[in-house]
Amino acid sequence: MAPPKKKTRAKRKDMTYECGEEVTGATGPARKPVAGARQAQAQAQARKDLTADVEKTVDNYVDAMINLGIEGLRKQYKQQLANYRAPDEKYKFTAFEANPDKNRYLDVVCLDETRVRLTMDVPPSTDYIHANWVKFEGHDKVFIATQGPLDNTIEDFWRMVFQEGCPNVVNLTKCIEDGKVKSSQYWPLDPGAFQSFGKMFVNTKKVESEGKFLIYTVEVLPEGCSNSNIVKVIHMTSWPDRGLPMSGRHVLRLIRQVNGDKLDNGPVVMHCSAGIGRTGTIILIDVILRRLFRGKEIDMVDVFKQLRNQRASCIQVEGQYLFVVISVLDYIKVISRGYSSQTIHPLLTLQPHQEANLFSKQT
């Protein structure tokens, strides 16, 4: 058996994700980037040389994932992560139990320690919403992971968004999937449309299409308040109920859209149906990429546990865990031509969206 070919590190490209490049799976055809002033400007702003520390950190991560391989990652998830939950002293959910009518799923708990508490125009006895703060040390992006709003929690949802000064809401689910209600429709779909939810008023100002997702610019105004907040609702409709997007590139574009918004540095609200599967997957991809490209080493088991310590049951199935790693490696492959078919390619050829056995359940 011939020895494996040595990895060669070609000159690094800038770390801008090429949003104009479309890939269908790891081996599918690619289209050339579509030229445009906006894309060129975004790339120019992000263009910079990677430091030696960042290169080393990225190399270490790639090597670790290649050494594990697909079967090693599957084994890691099954043996160390699938059944992991926060330590007993943190795994408490009394508010969840006291508010069954505000929970979409009875088996998806909301941890007391990290739950978001409503403070605006509500007494302490009604401060509950099924939402948790998700924060990582050394990571400046703060998330609020939550469930898809119920009809009776839409007002609470918008109260939370306004209260916390959230510039972006990322919706990863359709209202109806496979004939089942996954989320209530909580904002007007048409430009100029206006809707009230209890004491919260929402006005859709603009709708834009960005490939696989729609961006709704909405104005949120509480009753009796003279100052409104502008919020972007970013709705990704291409993530199937039981499966994964055809390409991780769509998810990477979504992350770049959120991270590139300079409106505010407030927390990002992220939800799917239960707020743990698709939501946890996106959050973990973002956290890993941000840490890697700041020269910080990644321990997959540790970062996964940090996530579940804050939002119970995040990343529900093996396929989602594999998708996290594949998406991160795909990004690295795009910005670094040094990783060729001898290195990353064997992992990227796995297409978990086609493997139904990887999904026992997903919300």
Active site residues: 272
Long-range interactions of 133-137: CB distance < 8 A, separation 24+: 133/267, 133/310, 134/283, 134/307, 134/310, 134/311, 135/310, 136/287, 136/291, 136/303, 136/306
**What totals of helices (H) and strands (E) does the chain contain, helices first?**
9, 13
Please name which of 36, 44, 40 lies closest in space to residue 14, comparing C-alpha atoms: 44
204 within 8 A of 159, measured Cβ to Cβ: no
Q: What is residue 179's three-state secondary structure?
A: coil
* Rounded Cα–Cα distance for residues 186 and 155 (Å): 9
What spatial distance separates the first Cα and last Cα of the chain, rounded to whole Å?
A: 45
Specify the length of the chain in residues: 363
* Rounded Cα–Cα distance for residues 213 and 197 (Å): 25
* Rounded Cα–Cα distance for residues 210 and 147 (Å): 24
> 186 vs 12, 122, 339, CA distance in Å?
44, 20, 43
Dig out the tokens for 102 from the structure.
Answer: 């505000």
Residue 352 CA to its chain's centroid (Å): 17
268 within 8 A of 141, measured Cβ to Cβ: yes
> 63 vs 7, 211, 343, CA distance in Å?
10, 33, 8
The amino acid present at 159, given as its one-letter code, is R
Residue 258 CA to its chain's centroid (Å): 10
